[in-house]
């Protein structure tokens, strides 16, 4: 049992982080914290991906001293995917933060419940 946990430590951490992010994003009323939770959720996915690509004792797939022996290197695809994923997640975060800023400018709050009340008060 213990060896199983140690073997899958990255996957387990990723699962815990993902669920934490997911639940917070769904239930937390604060919009900024929702965005933070979204980033935790995405980081969990990247951790999972990066850990799957790692092979102990091998080096990153960058040719330096002319050694083209495949067995020296780790799988580079997950790293590429993580990079793509980070770009996506940064742009989505930037978009959401800009949107929250506009909402704060209009209603003066970043709390979802207060926001709905403020809308009701304004008759919208």
Partner 1 sequence: MPFAWNLPYLSVFLTMTAAILLSVLPGARRAWLLTAGVSACVAVMSLCFLVFIVRSDASYAFTMGKFPAPFGNEIRFGPLQGLFASVFAAVMCLSLLGGRTELFEDVDEKKMGLACVMFNMVLASLLILTYTNDAFTAYVFIEISTIAACALVMIRDSGPTLVATIRYLFMSLLGSGLFLFSVILLYAVTGHLLMPQLAESVAALMAGGQYTKVLALVLAMMTAGLGVKSAMFPFHRWLPDAHGSATTTSSAVLSGLVVKGYAVLLITMFCRVFTLETVRAFHIHDAVFALGFCGMILGSVMALRETHAKRMLAYSSVAQLGYVFMGIGLGTPAGIAAACFQILAHAFTKPLLFVSVGRLASAAHHDKQLRALRGSAWSCPLAGFGFGIGALSMVGIPLFGGFAAKVNFSSSAIFGDEKVALTLFVLALSSVLNALYYIPALINIWSDRNPGAKRVEADPYAAAAIVVLACGVLFLGVRFTPVMELIVRGLELM
Q: Which residues of this chain interact with partner 1, rule CB under 8 A?
A: 11, 18, 21-22, 25-26, 31, 34, 38, 41-42, 44-45, 48-49, 52, 77-78, 81, 84-85, 88, 91-92, 95-96, 99-100, 102-103, 106-107, 115-116, 119, 122, 124
Q: Which of residues 40 and 65 has its CB atom nearest to partner 1 in the complex? A: 40
Q: Which of residues 6 and 65 has its CB atom nearest to partner 1 in the complex? A: 6
The C-alpha atoms of residue 19 and residue 13 are separated, in whole angstroms, by 10
Least distance in Å: CB of 115 to partner 1? 6
Least distance in Å: CB of 81 to partner 1? 6
Q: Distances from the Cα of 116 to the Cαs of 32, 52, 76, 80, 110, in angstroms? A: 16, 42, 46, 41, 11
Cβ atoms 32, 100 nearer than 8 A: yes
Look up residue 100 and give its two tokens.
């929250």
Least distance in Å: CB of 38 to partner 1? 5
Q: Which of residues 22 and 73 has its CB atom nearest to partner 1 in the complex? A: 22
Look up residue 20 and give its two tokens.
């934490």
| 75 CB-contact burial (10 Å; exposed 0-12 / middle 13-18 / buried 19+) | middle
Q: Which of residues 65 and 115 has its CB atom nearest to partner 1 in the complex? A: 115
């Amino acid at each position: 049992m213990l060896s199983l946990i140690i073997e899958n430590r990255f996957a387990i951490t990723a699962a815990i982080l993902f669920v934490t992010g997911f639940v917070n994003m769904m239930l937390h009323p604060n919009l900024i914290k929702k965005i933070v939770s979204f980033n935790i959720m995405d980081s969990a996915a990247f951790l999972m991906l990066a850990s799957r690509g790692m092979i102990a004792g091998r080096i990153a797939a960058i040719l330096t001293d002319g050694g083209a022996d495949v067995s020296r290197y780790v799988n580079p695809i997950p790293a590429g995917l993580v990079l793509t994923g980070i770009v996506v997640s940064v742009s989505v975060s930037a978009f959401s933060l800009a949107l929250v800023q506009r909402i704060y400018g209009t209603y003066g709050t970043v709390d979802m419940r207060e926001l709905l009340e403020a809308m009701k008060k304004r008759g919208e």
